[in-house]
Amino acid sequence: NALNSIQYYINRQDRLAANRYLSDFARLIRKNLDSSQTELTTLSDEIERLELYLKLEHMRFRDKFSYYVEVEPGLDQEQVRIPAMLLQPFLENSIWHGLLPKESQGEISVRIRKDGDFVEILITDNGIGIDSSLMNKSGTDSQISKGMEITENRLELIRRMTGRSIELHGPSQINDDEGRPQGTQVCIRIPLDFSELLENSRG
C-alpha cells in the first residue's frame, strides 16, 4: 500500500511528496525492525512510531481524516516502558473500519495520561461505528483482524508471565443520546511498573 502511494506521487510528478513519503516510510520500517528485536520500548519511541504511521496514512487518505496525539504534561515518556508495537493495530482498526468508510472527513485521537499506577491510552474515532462496520466487511478485514488477534494473544501471554493484566477495554461503540453511532473507542491501561513485573517474571 505504501509503495502504491509512492508510485502515485511519482506518476503525478510530485517528487517532493514522493520523497517525503518515502523518507517517513523508511523511518517507520527502521523503527519497526528495531522494535522487533526487543520486548519493551519507551513510551516516547512508541509515540514517535504512532505519529509516523498516522502521518503516512494521512498522506494516503488526506481527505478522509485528521488526527492528533496528546500526552499529559509531566508524564516522563523516557522512563515509562511498554510492549513494543502494541498500539498500531488499534489505530489500523479505527482508520480502516471506522474512518475510511465514512462519507465525511473523520478524526482520530490518541490521548495518553497517568492514572494512578497506570498509563492510560485512549484511542477514539468518530467513524461509522462497530455495527455499521460489521456490515461493510472487505478484503482488508482479514489482515486487520489478524493484527488484533496477535495483539490480544500478546496481552494474554503478558498476563500469564507477570500475573498482572494490561487492561483492554473495547473497542466499543460510542452512541449519541438517541442511540446513533458516533464512533468507537478503546482504552488500554498499562502498569507503570510493567518493565519490573516482566523482569521479575523471568527471575
3-state secondary structure of 155: helix
**pTM, full prediction:** 0.78
Look up residue 109 and give its three cell numbers. Answer: 485521537
Taking the C-alpha atoms of residue 154 and residue 36, their distance in angstroms, rounded to an integer, is 14
3-state secondary structure of 93: helix
Pairing of strands 167-175, 181-191: antiparallel
Look up residue 180 and give its three cell numbers. Answer: 446513533
Radius of gyration of the chain (CA): 18
pLDDT per residue rounded down to tens, the chain (203 residues): 555 555 655 656 566 767 677 777 777 777 766 655 667 788 888 898 888 888 888 877 777 889 999 999 988 888 888 887 788 888 988 888 888 888 888 999 999 999 888 899 999 999 888 877 777 665 555 555 666 777 777 777 777 766 666 788 888 888 888 888 888 999 999 888 766 655 555 55
Taking the C-alpha atoms of residue 74 and residue 148, their distance in angstroms, rounded to an integer, is 31
Taking the C-alpha atoms of residue 126 and residue 174, their distance in angstroms, rounded to an integer, is 8
